[in-house]
Structure 1
């Protein structure tokens, strides 16, 4: 249980809110057995659910089985943008906390946090509607976004959603108290075109589609505030690379590596290379590993906005990459004279082109 309980290091629990009851050894063993069985199903868990389930178990075993008290305590937890970004463990805070509530008719909206860099916007809010109702209209919860008086256009239709109801936070599928189901926590990640960020931005969020859905005037669902982007920008650095991997007419160009608090971006160009081992149109392929030789989950290819997250926290087990350096490792599926090989996901042999490996120092 060591790894699971370590997730509780930064969680504060007010034990004065609970009634302490004795739990006999048989009840403790039964609860622990149920939890141990469930934690093996890692494919169905993300970090938030793991933390909340552990907290619920911790409260039950240590405080007794007074159900209402446990559920009420667990319901007070909610996600944050820092957790979404995977940078909450070191104490940094790159989001702006708003914590302002707007009301209209029978609907209430509370904006918790806001974050942006030069390519995306993340918004965290609570709304007094049931989770299932919002899932059905998820495309309507995205607000119109204005920065410094200019409406910002989205660069794609992609929107990352986290829509969490009371039972998600509690970790109980059969929680009977449905009163808490009336409020839902929502986190949105929206891809935007190049954002005109300076240092302190005048931001306006207009939840026009959501207001229309619930018969509210959009002016009643409008937030205006100042967002300070300096801390995120100050903790971002660019490393110049200017190296190429050239094999015949095929070339992988590496221009810059940008390190932000939550991800690493690699700019360059590619001809004849692919990061996808099943790309049959590519003549050569490449892997990228961190300083510990752990493969990083590249989200796009070099030449097409390549990046990976420094901390992989949305599923268990968590992964925190060592970015003191990265290596670009070219390989081919055609047999060549090399001392190093590995096996692809589909069982083919990857022949590493050792003399073309590029190591980039990011310290």
Structure 2
């Protein structure tokens, strides 16, 4: 094909009726586990949860084109089945409202050592870069992890990241990922140049691990101006204490893509607790914010969207902090959350 870019644009504009495909819903526990693959800003390997059908958490529009002359040409041009797969970034992130106007379409495919990687979309959410990616491992693997570097405007980003990753189907060689990368030290008010460099992928096979070294590199430009214009910030003054450590909540930031409560942790000692802010909005809908990341400079709680988007019509949110201690040794997380502070209310500027 002479113009692969136009091919991708055509594929992105295709509409497939998903009612023609079999769906299997995940229960709330499975959805929560998938959404919270990461809770630490320093962990860079991914844990997988096998899903019978990804449709409930990641809605894919699969272009089944290989049986047509046009499809055969596209496949031959890209030399990878992932070139035939596209999806809504909003649905892949678990967001029901339309966030396509805020997405930067990338659709770049790079193949090396028999592994194909496709970055599909990027969103700039003020101090966070959101990427959605598809992987074709070229062989059956139980799971895999990778290490990659992010450069913005030529500067390597060493901040924390979190995300989810899992299988797309039962083939054990197609996987998806959604990454949230902290870019708080970067000016994202205008266009930014982004370079993603993957040089190592580690396969987890049935009885061994295998390391694949290669070069999967992507360069593109993204802009978050429109999303920033639709972002609201409400100052907060609320504190609670756990074992002598003070948690201060300073602002509630919300837009069509994300809803975050941002604060700081003060005091000596270790932060050994997982913290949630639980409550409801003024319409009676359940609301939960989970601790997405924390370090010596900042902590960020994100809205847990298992129950769907926050309603655009709500006027206030009332929340209470709960906490549970992290296990001293690696193992099953303790879900025995206990109340650690009084209820507080956030009044929205609607």
TM over 0.5, shorter chain: yes
Matched residue SS, 2:97: coil
Deviations 1:39-78 (A, max 9, x none): 696644679937479x9xxxxxxxxxxxxxxxxxxx9765
Corresponding position of 1:87: 95
Structure 2, unaligned runs of 5 or more: 1-13, 36-50, 60-82, 203-209, 268-272, 323-334
Mapping 1:22-171, distance limit 5 Å: 43-44=29-30, 49=53, 51=55, 79-90=87-98, 92-104=100-112, 106-130=114-138, 132-133=140-141, 135-136=143-144, 138=145, 140=146, 142-155=147-160, 159-167=162-170
- SS for the counterpart of 1:143 is strand
Instruction: State the shift of 1:147 in Å.
Output: 0.5
1:13 to 12, 17, 20: 17
Q: CA deviation at 1:319?
A: 2.7
- 1:137-171: CA deviation from partner (whole Å, max 9, x where unpaired): x1x2x42111011011132xx6423232432xxxx
The match for 2:283 among 273, 283, 292 is 292
Secondary structure at 1:133 match in 2: coil
Deviation at 1:14, TM superposition (A): 9.2
Contact 1:96–1:113 under 8 Å retained in 2:
yes
Match of 2:72 in 1: none
Structure 2 vs 1, CA of residues 110 and 347 (structure 1 numbering), >3 Å: closer, same or farther? Answer: closer
Do the aligned partners of 1:265 and 1:305 also contact (CA within 8 Å) in 2? no
Q: Give the equivalent residue in structure 1 for 2:4.
A: none
Do the aligned residues in 2 keep the contact of 1:204 with 1:222 (CA within 8 Å)? yes
Task: Describe the shift of the 1:236–1:253 C-alpha distance in structure 2 as closer, same or farther (beyond 3 A).
Answer: same
Greater shift, 229-238 or 42-51, is seen at 42-51
> CA–CA distance in 1 between the matches of 2:319 and 2:122?
35
Instruction: Provide the rounded CA distance (Å) in 2 between the counterparts of 1:243 and 1:159.
Output: 26
Larger Rg: 1
Q: Secondary structure at the match of 2:189?
A: coil
Contact 2:189 2:223 in 1 (8 A): no
- 2:251 — aligned with what? 256
The residue matched to 2:184 in structure 1 has which SS? coil
Q: Structure 1 286/206 Cα, relative in aligned 2: closer, same or farther at 3 Å?
A: closer
Distance 1:42 1:130, change over 3 A: farther
RMSD, matched Cα: 5.1
- 1:200 deviation in Å? 0.8
TM-score when normalising by structure 2? 0.56
- How far apart, CA to CA, are the structure 2 residues paired with 1:135 and 1:94? 31
Q: Is the 8 A contact 1:102 1:110 kept in 2?
A: yes
Give the Cα separation in 1 of the matches to 2:337 and 2:213. 56
- Contact (CA 8 Å) 1:80, 1:124: kept in 2 or not? no
TM-superposed CA distance for 1:183, in Å, is: 5.1
Q: Distance in 1 between matches of 2:239 and 2:213?
A: 57
TM-score (norm 1): 0.54
- More off after superposition, 231-240 vs 112-121: 112-121
- Unaligned runs of 5+ residues in structure 1 are 1-9, 19-30, 56-74, 168-180, 273-278, 280-284, 332-344
Residues 296-335 of structure 1 aligned to structure 2 (within 5 Å): 296-300=287-291, 305-309=299-303, 312-313=305-306, 318-322=307-311, 323-328=314-319
Conserved? CA contact 2:316–2:345, under 8 Å? no
Q: Distance in 2 between matches of 1:312 and 1:297?
A: 8
Paired position in structure 1 for 2:349: 362
Which residue number in structure 2 is paired with residue 184 of structure 1? Answer: 174
Give the total of aligned pairs: 264
Q: Deviations over 1:280-324 (max 9, x none)?
A: xxxxx9854322233422213999624232x614xxxx3332343
